[in-house]
């Protein structure tokens, strides 16, 4: 009996050893990323929302963790902007190193060149990121990613830009069973559409509602992208350019946050969905400057009065390469 137990125990111990080594390797990789991989925010421009390059006369990055003054921050990322009363208000994730949790920060600019950080405008007991801010019927709303709360929540500004209150839960459930990551919303032809990502299966899901607060139902064509590390995960605001509708997808290969692809949505109704890639090259990707030397993963594009497009973007820097 002792011999039999020994024969069984040897491969079990070997397997356990391999598992321990794997977890130690993953932990070391995570520590390396935390120490050397840093996100910052920049400004790009172009003739349309999917043809972008660094903005002329702008020194990128326009915002870094060094400008955060009220909490210790390791990085700033996931930029979303909205204009209000002649000022440009920028919302973004900042990683609070004391809490080891994402919070939503705010900065403001009068000219898109010089940005003044103000303070954290939204924190919860759970991690926050991807603060998708938008206006509807004269009110300001935000849908930040809050998958750790097992939900997608709609927030409304009680006092813009400082005071945000959750008003309704759009989707809820475990993120392994419900698509909760990077929720991206758009109003189109009388209906609301919500894109969100399920990491376990790398699917892009689509929900539809008649009103902003719901009820929301899964679209018949959902998931609209299946099993794709390249094209499924939302990477910024869904935007309209004339009659065209575009969505952005962040590429998780060869590593997280490597680049962003553009897709033209050719048909979007409560019962149908079709899209096509806008190009064989990414909309944004790693650049030659240190602040984005290994990747980029968010595009928030806006059409300006003169017809050009500007986009708030983020860049990933590996400080060992800088």
Q: Taking the chain (322 residues) in consecutive chunks of 10 residues, what is each chunk's mean pLDDT?
A: 55 62 61 73 97 95 97 97 96 97 98 96 98 97 97 98 97 91 97 97 97 97 97 98 95 96 98 97 95 97 95 93 66
Cβ neighbours, 10 Å, residue 43? 25
d(CA 199, CA 185): 18
Tokens standing for residue 67: 């400008």
CB contact set of 203 (below 8 Å; sequence gap of 6+): 179, 197, 223, 225, 226, 227, 228, 232
d(CA 211, CA 201): 29
What is the pTM assigned to this prediction?
A: 0.89
Of 2, 10, 25, 33, the closest CA to residue 294 belongs to: 33
pLDDT at 5: 46
């Amino acid at each position: 009996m002792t011999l039999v137990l020994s024969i069984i125990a040897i491969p079990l111990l070997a397997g356990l050893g391999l598992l321990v080594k794997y977890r130690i390797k993953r932990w070391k990789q995570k520590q390396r990323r935390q120490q050397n991989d840093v996100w910052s925010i920049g400004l790009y421009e172009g003739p349309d929302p999917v043809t972008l390059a660094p903005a002329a006369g702008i020194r990128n990055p326009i915002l870094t963790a060094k400008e955060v003054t009220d909490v210790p921050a390791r990085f700033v990322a996931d930029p979303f902007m909205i204009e209000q009363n002649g000022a440009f208000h920028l919302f973004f994730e900042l990683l609070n190193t004391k809490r080891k949790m994402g919070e939503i920060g705010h900065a403001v600019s009068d000219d898109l060149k010089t940005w003044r950080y103000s303070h954290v405008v939204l924190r919860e007991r759970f991690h926050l990121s991807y603060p998708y801010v938008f206006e509807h019927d004269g009110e300001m709303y935000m849908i930040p990613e809050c998958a750790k709360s097992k939900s997608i929540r709609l927030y409304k500004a009680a006092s813009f830009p400082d005071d945000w209150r959750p008003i309704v839960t759009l989707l809820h459930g475990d993120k392994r069973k419900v698509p909760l990551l990077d929720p991206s919303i758009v109003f189109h032809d009388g209906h609301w559409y919500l894109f969100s990502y399920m990491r376990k299966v790398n699917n892009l899901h689509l929900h539809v509602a008649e009103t902003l607060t719901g009820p929301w139902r899964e679209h018949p064509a959902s998931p609209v992208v299946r099993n794709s590390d390249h094209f499924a995960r939302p990477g910024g605001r869904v935007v309209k350019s004339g009659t065209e509708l575009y969505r952005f997808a962040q590429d998780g290969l060869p590593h997280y946050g490597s680049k962003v692809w553009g897709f033209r949505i050719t048909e979007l109704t409560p019962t149908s969905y079709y899209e096509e890639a806008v190009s064989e090259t990414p909309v944004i990707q790693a650049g030659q400057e240190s602040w984005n030397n290994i990747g980029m993963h968010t595009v928030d594009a806006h059409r300006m009065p003169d017809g050009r497009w500007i986009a708030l973007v983020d860049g990933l820097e590996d400080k060992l390469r800088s």
